[in-house]
Amino acid sequence: MQPRGRAQVVNLERQILAKNQLAAERNRGWFAGREVVALNLMSSPGSGKTTLLERTIRDLAGQARINVIEGDQATTYDAERIRATGCKAVQINTGTGCHLDAEMLARGLEVLQPPVGSVVMIENVGNLVCPALFDLGERAKVVILSVTEGDDKPLKYPHMFQAADVVLLNKIDLLPHVQFDVQRCVDHACRVNARARIYLVSATTGEGMEGWYAWLKSLLAERAVRAEVER
């Protein structure tokens, strides 16, 4: 028999996740009604999420209309960096919270008001644990892992990598300067999640970014076809 205290905690967790799931489904409908492709970007702090977003926005200017929701416990630094690219960004500060949830995102979207047919990049709070549990209503989850973090991370944080549709192995320009076994990391990621697409990239130099862009463009093409069929 499960201890009473433990049972209460499990029941509360289920209630929180169930409430979040209802809000996530509302967000999903909101995105669908506006033909918006939403991506949930997750990683540990310092993986290069914001740098990757800056390069993506600049490189795809004229090809994709990108807007950003920035999640951090404090400060507006990342939102300011994104706005410097000419892209609209809304900052959500979670305080002591370790992740964005679907209701937070909904409030951010009311301010952001992304145009029909655009892309919303959601830069989640830096954390390889909690964000994996909370569906935001996004089209896909993207996990960024940098070569400075260690090649064992997919096994140490399996829930995060199991949730990923795409894994971006970032900062490959630093490989000559760190101890990191790329093949070992890829093997670990595939062991945890065989369906995830894995791209080796450097957001700083631009190396390998073409594969990430091609995947993103395939989502936009898929959305355009679906929208045409529904009309």
The first and second tokens of residue 203, run together, are 């957001």
In this structure, which long-range contacts are made by residues 189-192, counting pairs with CB atoms below 8 Å and at least 24 apart in sequence? 189/154, 189/161, 191/154, 191/155, 192/154, 192/155, 192/158, 192/161, 192/162
User: Hunting for tokens 């033909």 — which residue is that?
Assistant: 35
Statement: residue 3 has pLDDT above 70: no
- Give the pLDDT confidence of 45-62 residue by residue, as tens digits: 999 999 999 999 999 999
Comparing 4 with 139, which gets the higher pLDDT?
139
Comparing 15 with 24, which gets the higher pLDDT?
24
Domain that holds residue 67: 4-230
Confidence of residue 227 (pLDDT cuts 50, 70, 90): confident
Quick check: 20 and 103 in contact, CB under 8 A? yes
Confidence of residue 64 (pLDDT cuts 50, 70, 90): very high
pTM, to two decimals: 0.93
What is the phi/psi pair of residue 158, to 5°?
Answer: -65, -35
Statement: residue 120 has pLDDT above 90: yes
CATH at residue 167: 3.40.50.300
- Give the pLDDT confidence of 88-102 residue by residue, as tens digits: 999 999 999 999 999
Average pLDDT over residues 25-36: 97
Statement: residue 7 has pLDDT above 60: yes
* Domains in the chain, number: 1
Residue 208 falls in which region: left (phi positive, over 0), alpha (psi -120 to 50) or beta: left
Average pLDDT over residues 40-47: 97
User: Hunting for tokens 């960024």 — which residue is that?
Assistant: 144
Confidence of residue 10 (pLDDT cuts 50, 70, 90): low
Residue 68 falls in which region: left (phi positive, over 0), alpha (psi -120 to 50) or beta: beta
Average pLDDT over residues 202-226: 96
- pLDDT for the residue numbered 5: 62
- pLDDT for the residue numbered 72: 97
Confidence of residue 226 (pLDDT cuts 50, 70, 90): confident
Confidence of residue 15 (pLDDT cuts 50, 70, 90): confident
- pLDDT for the residue numbered 229: 83
- Give the pLDDT confidence of 139-163 residue by residue, as tens digits: 999 999 999 999 999 999 999 999 9
Neighbours of 66 (CB within 10 A): 24
